[in-house]
Amino acid sequence: MINPKLQDALNKQINAELYSSYLYFSMSAFFEDKNLKGMAHWMKMQAQEEMVHVLKFCDFLNDRGGRVLLDAIDKPPAEWNSPLHAFEEAYKHEQKVTALINDLVDLAVSLKDHAANSFLQWFVDEQVEEEASADEIVQNLKLVGEHPQGLFMLDKDLSSRSAPSLTAADGE
């Protein structure tokens, strides 16, 4: 049976992951409206990846005899000043999620829950990738600046992101 304190913290993380998905869907809609289909696609794939994270947390809680308790999801923003602003916000959001994951690891260690600590290491590694990916796009957008040709090329490049594997929720 999972410690109730850890169960509560994992349920809060599920809510945070659901919000992340909701935020990225909102960003996708923003980019669709701006006719930046590649950026919209990238954000949609990011939203789907966040749902894979939700499933991983739910499965872990269920496997440990815990209970998944869903809470209301905050409304995400719908507008950003520019593509750069949106991706900067995505990067900041990923940094926030990294801090949340680190707090979960600290809690698991303090409770001597080795299974939870082991499970959470996947997310620790994942957040390195998440931050690096968002930051790379931020840096590319800064390089592009106000040049529409560069924005067009970057948008086209972002359209090639593949969908996350649903089997990733099973730990693959």
- C-alpha span between 56 and 63 (Å, rounded): 10
- C-alpha span between 129 and 138 (Å, rounded): 14
User: For the whole model, what pTM was predicted?
Assistant: 0.93
> What residues have CB less than 8 Å from 120, skipping those under 6 apart?
101, 104, 105, 108
Average pLDDT of the residues in 35-61? 97
Which pair of structure tokens corresponds to residue 32?
């669709």
CATH of the domain at 140: 1.20.1260.10
Instruction: Please write the tens of the pLDDT for every residue from 56-80.
Output: 999 999 999 999 999 999 999 999 9
For residue 163, the enclosing domain spans 4-170
Report the domain count for the chain.
1
